[in-house]
Amino acid sequence: MVRAVTVTPRGITKTSPVSPEMKDVVGESVIPRTQALKRIWAYIKEHDLQDPQDKKVIICDEKLKKIFEGKDRDGFLEIAKLIGPHFL
């Protein structure tokens, strides 16, 4: 007999409420960090917000500026750090 084990999500896989600014980008008010990062990348690609000369640089539109500390541009490695304060 095989028993199903229920695993409670923790850390970056745990669902958390987000700020209204983050919701504008990711489309949900409660989301795990892993999914938020995926949706932010999807948003960046959908709106063609990568610098054509250096794909590691994000060009922030008004929605991204609200979650990226008002910056016009930022490196993709900074995203995880910048979205932290938007998880409530």
3 within a domain of the structure (yes/no)? no
Total domains in the fold of the chain: 1
| CATH classification of the domain holding 65 | 1.10.245.10
24 within a domain of the structure (yes/no)? yes
Residue with tokens 């917000």: 49
The vertex-55 CA angle with 88 and 81, nearest 5°, equals 20
Domain enclosing residue 32, as ranges:
15-86
2 within a domain of the structure (yes/no)? no
pTM of the model: 0.82
82 within a domain of the structure (yes/no)? yes
Please list the pLDDT of the chain residue by residue as tens digits (88 residues): 677 666 666 766 789 999 999 999 999 999 999 999 999 999 999 999 999 999 999 999 999 999 999 999 999 888 888 999 999 8
d(CA 58, CA 49): 6
Within 13 Å, how many C-alpha atoms sit on residue 38's CB side? 8
pLDDT of residue 76: 86
73 within a domain of the structure (yes/no)? yes
